[in-house]
Amino acid sequence: MNKLIISKISKSFKSAQHEIKVLDNVCMTLNQGTAVGVIGASGSGKTTFLQILAGLEMPDKGDIFYNDHNLSVNNGKKFNSMRNNLFGYAYQFHYLLDDLTVYENCDIVFKIAGNRDSKKNSSKIMQILEELGIHDRKDSYPYMLSGGEKQRVAIARAIVHKPEFIIMDEPTGNLDQDNAEIIQDLSLKLAKNYNVGIIIATHDLKYAAKLDNVYRIENGELKST
Ligand SMILES: Nc1ncnc2c1ncn2[C@@H]1O[C@H](COP(=O)(O)OP(=O)(O)OP(=O)(O)O)[C@@H](O)[C@H]1O
Ligand SMILES: [Mg+2]
């Protein structure tokens, strides 16, 4: 079983007036096949933590290991390609590309990776869109979709290349109860049926209660609840 080990990560943001210490010596292990929650007040550092985990933000100190392989010491290029294969990321504010259809928003993952096997990619995309119940919207542009549908497209894009780890930043934040439950069940199913390691930042304590482990960020510390 593969795992991500987050070891002694610290991160501060400095402004002209003051410095905010967001993460202070934070440690966590994320195993494949488990779904883990990260809770904490707004501004506590959930997004910062997830972005560092995915390599989208650099920590001031600390390392991220994939098994015994230190991702933090790789040169940028090697790390970037490894990151693309290892991680899927669904952003807090979904960031769909407005000029692309639902299908094209997913296909861009393969294009960025230089994967031109369009037949195989197409069947992967359609399978995921079907699983998420949005296959009939494949030719729609983001402005034509509801919030819940957009969130599902963002998740489809995060999982279409079958990464080992999926990072979801408040995936149910803007959804009604029915749509939130669809996303919650999907994340649990991905962990159990596809052996994916999932880390989910959420404010929804009912969602968190369904997950295998829950951590809280408070005053820069990350603690198991
Ligand atoms: N690029 C940045 N520059 C300066 N400060 C930042 C930056 N990014 C985040 N911060 C600050 O770091 C703290 C943590 O922010 P973060 O976005 O990680 O919180 P969060 O827990 O995800 O909050 P929310 O629940 O509202 O999404 C906040 O005080 C925020 O203002
Ligand atoms: Mg956030």
Query: Whose C-alpha lies nearest to ligand 1, atom 2?
Result: 13
Please name the amino acid found at residue 49. Answer: F
Q: Give the residue ranges of DSSP H helices in the chain.
A: 46-54, 76-86, 102-112, 118-131, 147-159, 177-194, 205-209
Q: Tell me which residues have their CB closer than 6 angstroms to ligand 1.
A: 13, 20, 22, 40, 42-48, 92
Tell me the CA–centroid distance for residue 215 and ligand 1, in Å.
17
pTM for the whole thing? 0.91
Per-residue model confidence as pLDDT tens digits over 166-191: 999 999 887 888 888 988 998 898 89
Question: Which ligand sits closest to the CA of 48?
Answer: 1
State the burial class of residue 141 (Cβ atoms within 10 Å of its Cβ: 0-12, 13-18, 19+). Answer: middle
Residue with tokens 């509801």: 146
Residue to probe by mutation, ligand 1, list 46, 49, 205, most atoms within 8 Å of CB: 46
Token pair, residue 188, equals 């649990």
Tell me the CA–centroid distance for residue 217 and ligand 1, in Å.
12
What does the pLDDT read at residue 190? 87
What does the pLDDT read at residue 74? 64
What ligand 1 atom has the least distance to the C-alpha of 217? 21
Tell me the CA–centroid distance for residue 127 and ligand 1, in Å.
35
Task: Give dist(CA 189, CA 184) in Å, integer.
Answer: 9
Nearest to 188 by CA among 176, 206, 173, 203: 206
Residues in the chain, pLDDT under 70: 74-78
Q: How far is CA 4 from CA 68, 87, 99, 102, 197, in A?
A: 9, 11, 35, 30, 9
Q: Which superfamily does CATH assign the domain made up of 3-224 to?
A: P-loop containing nucleotide triphosphate hydrolases (3.40.50.300)
Query: Whose C-alpha lies nearest to ligand 1, atom 24?
Result: 42
C-beta of residue 155 within 8 angstroms of C-beta of residue 198: no
Tell me the CA–centroid distance for residue 18 and ligand 2, in Å.
21
Nearest to 36 by CA among 225, 212, 221, 224: 212
Tell me the CA–centroid distance for residue 47 and ligand 1, in Å.
7
Residue with tokens 């292990």: 29
**H or E stretch covering 98:** none
Q: How far is CA 27 from CA 43, 53, 166, in A?
A: 19, 11, 18
Sketch the domain layout of the chain as residue ranges: 3-224
Q: Find the radius of gyration of the CA atoms of the chain.
A: 17
Query: Whose C-alpha lies nearest to ligand 1, atom 17?
Result: 47
Query: Whose C-alpha lies nearest to ligand 1, atom 9?
Result: 48
